[in-house]
Amino acid sequence: MALVKEKRIRVGGLEFAITMDAARAERLRKSPAYARLIRPALDRLQGASNGHAGRNGTAWQGVPPRLPQMPAPATPEARAILDRIAGVEWYHTIDLPHGVTTPGFVDHRSQRHLYGLPDDMRGMRVLEVACFDGFWSFEFERRGAEVVAIDLASTAQTDIPRNWMDVFYSGGFDKPKGEGFRIAKELLGSKVRREVLSVHDLGPEHFGEFDMAFCSDVLLHLRDPLRAMENIWRVTKQFAIFADVYNPELEAFKNKALTEFCMVGETDVWWRPSSTTLYLMLHVARFSRVEEVSRFKLNSHFEGEIPKVVYKAYH
Ligand SMILES: C[S@@+](CC[C@H](N)C(=O)[O-])C[C@H]1O[C@@H](n2cnc3c(N)ncnc32)[C@H](O)[C@@H]1O
3-state secondary structure (DSSP) of residue 11: strand
Alpha-carbon span 284 to 274, nearest angstrom: 15
pLDDT band at 16 (very low <50, low <70, confident <90, very high): very low
Nearest atom in ligand 1 to the alpha carbon of residue 215 is: 6
| pLDDT at residue 43, rounded to an integer | 60
SS3 238: strand
pLDDT at 32: 58
User: Distance between CA 210 and CA 207 in Å, rounded?
Assistant: 9
CA of 15 to the centre of ligand 1 (A): 13
- Rama region for 87: left / alpha / beta (φ>0; ψ in -120 to 50; rest): left
Cβ of residue 10 lying under 6 Å from some atom of ligand 1 = no
At 174 the pLDDT is 85
Who wins on pLDDT, 19 or 296? 296
d(CA 260, CA 54): 10
Q: How far is ligand 1, taken at its centre, from the CA of residue 75, in Å?
A: 34
Calpha distance 194→133 (Å, rounded) = 10
Ligand 1 atom closest to the Cα of residue 198 is 20
Cβ(216) to ligand 1 under 6 A?
Answer: yes
Residue with CA nearest ligand 1 atom 12: 130
What spacing in Å lies between the alpha carbon of 149 and ligand 1's midpoint?
A: 11
The answer to whether residue 183 scores a pLDDT higher than 50 is: yes
Mean pLDDT, residues 62-74 taken together: 53
For 46, residues 6+ apart whose C-beta sits below 8 A from its C-beta are: 58
Q: Which atom of ligand 1 is nearest to the CA of 132?
A: 27
Looking at residue 263, its pLDDT comes to 82
Res 35 pLDDT > 50: yes
In the 8-state DSSP scheme, what is residue 158? Answer: S
pLDDT of residue 211: 98
CA-nearest residue for atom 14, ligand 1, is: 130
Q: What is the DSSP letter of 189?
A: T
Ligand 1 centroid, distance to 218 Cα (angstroms): 5
* Residue 242 CB neighbours (<10 A): 28
Compute the distance from residue 287 Cα to the ligand 1 centre, in Å: 21
pLDDT at position 2 is 37
Give residue-wise pLDDT tens across range 158-170: 998 887 777 777 8
Look at the pTM and tell me if it is higher than 0.75: yes
Amino acid 27: pLDDT = 54
What are the beta bridge partners of residue 9?
A: 16
246-257 pLDDT, tens digit each: 999 999 998 899
- Residue 60's pLDDT band, with cuts at 50, 70 and 90, is very low
Q: Could you tell me the distance, in angstroms and rounded to a whole number, from the CA of residue 77 to the centre of ligand 1?
A: 31
Separation between Cα atoms, residue 238 and residue 227, nearest integer Å = 19
Residue partners of 117: CB distance under 8 A and separation at least 6: 139, 140, 143, 241
Averaged pLDDT for residues 75-96:
95
With b meaning 16 or more CB within 10 Å and e meaning fewer, what string describes 43-57?
eebeeeeeeebbbbe
Is the distance from the beta carbon of residue 134 to the nearest atom of ligand 1 less than 6 Å? no
Q: In this predicted structure, what is the pLDDT of residue 133?
A: 98
Average pLDDT over residues 103-132: 97
**Which secondary-structure segment (H or E) carries 227?**
helix 225-235
Question: 3-class SS at 266?
Answer: coil
**Is the CB–ligand 1 distance for residue 275 below 6 Å?**
no
What is the CA(74)–ligand 1 centre distance, in A? Answer: 33
The CB of 241 under 6 Å from ligand 1? The reply is no
Residue 73 has a pLDDT of 65
Distance 127 CA to ligand 1 centre (A): 13
Each residue's pLDDT tens digit, 191-235 = 999 999 999 999 999 999 999 999 999 999 999 999 999 999 999
Average pLDDT of the chain is 83
Q: Which atom of ligand 1 is nearest to the CA of 216?
A: 8
Task: Say if residue 4's pLDDT is above 60.
Answer: no
Average pLDDT for 121-144: 98
Q: Rounded mean pLDDT of 267-287? A: 95
Q: Nearest residue CA, atom 19 of ligand 1? A: 198
**283: confidence class by pLDDT, cuts 50, 70, 90:** very high
